[in-house]
């Protein structure tokens, strides 16, 4: 694979722009500048630098982001900054066939909801993780306005009816973590589902944080607003 094609596939611009980056000395390999845009390289596991920033070649991008509050999961946000502004430009520009450029969020979190968010340019992965047919569990830490009692807990486990669906929706698991704290596990992702379920049992969400998806837990050392690549071990925790 030509080096200019590697850079293009990783989101560094058009092939012409990528060729220019190489020819003008912006790209280094093994600590040395490379100026031949047509240089043939083995893309798999290739590590290179662009303007001093280290990058590794990934055929598909799989990321986790610790979504901070007051951000929107939209490329065209209406009131708050976009989560995509937290990512470096190449991840926002990775080329895709027949799709919007760049990585996409796997589902959405409300602007005031924090926690684990996955992003990728793999459409099949997005479908598998988002489809209710696959029952991928997601754990939310809920801060309620009022104390949570056994009646509310039992109703969440038995199922509540939301205004847009006559079929009851229920938590896969629910445990009290404090007087006003709940850990709620869901396997589907309806619009504002947690907030609507809590409202349906006579309470109100005042804080919402997604702690895990599948068996993948948001790392304690990943601060709000930070992202990292998913490792093979991370992806295994998301497998059915």
pLDDT digits (tens, 9 = 90+) for 205-221: 999 999 999 999 999 99
Overall fold of domain 137-213: Alpha-Beta Plaits (3.30.70)
Tell me which of 5, 30, 110, 163 is the catalytic residue: 110
Q: What is the pLDDT of residue 189?
A: 80
Task: Map out the domains of the chain as residue ranges.
Answer: 3-56, 62-131+219-238, 137-213
Cα separation, 14 vs 88, in Å, equals 16
Q: What is the pLDDT of residue 130?
A: 87
Percent pLDDT > 90 in the chain is: 89
**Confidence grade of residue 239 (pLDDT, cut at 50, 70, 90):** confident
**Same fold for the domain at 3-56 and the one at 137-213?**
no
Q: Where are the beta strands (DSSP E) in 3-107?
A: 27-29, 32-33, 47-50, 53-56, 62-67, 104-105
Q: What is the pLDDT of residue 99?
A: 63
Whether residue 71 has pLDDT greater than 70: yes
Of the candidates 75, 125, 117, which has an alpha carbon nearest to the alpha carbon of residue 100? 75
Residue range 152-164: average pLDDT? 92
Residue 34 tokens read as 């490379």
Whether residue 180 has pLDDT greater than 90: yes
Residue range 67-91: average pLDDT? 96
* Catalytic residue check, 110: yes
Overall fold of domain 62-131+219-238: Alpha-Beta Plaits (3.30.70)
Confirm or reject CATH 3.10.290.10 for domain 3-56, answering yes or no: yes
Secondary structure in 3-state letters for 96-130: CCCCCCCCEECCCCCCCCEEEEEEECCHHHHHHHH
> For all residues of the chain together, what is the average pLDDT?
94
């Amino acid at each position: 694979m030509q080096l200019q094609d590697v850079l293009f596939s990783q989101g560094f611009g058009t092939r012409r722009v990528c060729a220019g980056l190489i020819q003008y000395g912006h790209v280094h390999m093994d600590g040395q500048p490379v100026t031949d845009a047509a240089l043939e390289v083995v893309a798999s596991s290739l590590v290179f630098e662009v303007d001093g920033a280290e990058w590794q070649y990934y055929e598909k991008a799989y990321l986790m982001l610790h979504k901070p509050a007051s951000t929107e999961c939209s490329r065209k946000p209406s009131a708050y900054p976009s989560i995509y502004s937290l990512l470096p430009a190449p991840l926002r520009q990775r080329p895709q066939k027949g799709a919007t450029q760049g990585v996409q969020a796997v589902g959405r979190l409300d602007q005031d909801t924090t926690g684990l968010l996955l992003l990728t340019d793999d459409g099949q992965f997005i479908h598998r993780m988002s489809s209710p047919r696959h029952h991928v569990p997601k754990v939310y830490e809920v801060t309620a306005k009022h104390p949570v009692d056994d009646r509310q807990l039992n109703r969440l486990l038995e199922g509540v009816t939301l205004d847009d669906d006559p079929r009851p929706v229920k938590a896969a698991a629910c445990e009290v973590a404090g007087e006003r704290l709940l850990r709620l596990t869901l396997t589907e992702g309806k619009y504002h589902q947690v907030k609507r379920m809590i409202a349906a049992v006579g309470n109100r969400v005042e804080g919402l944080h997604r702690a895990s998806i599948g068996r993948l837990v948001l790392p304690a050392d990943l601060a709000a607003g930070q992202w990292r690549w998913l490792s093979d071990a991370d992806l295994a925790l998301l497998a059915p």
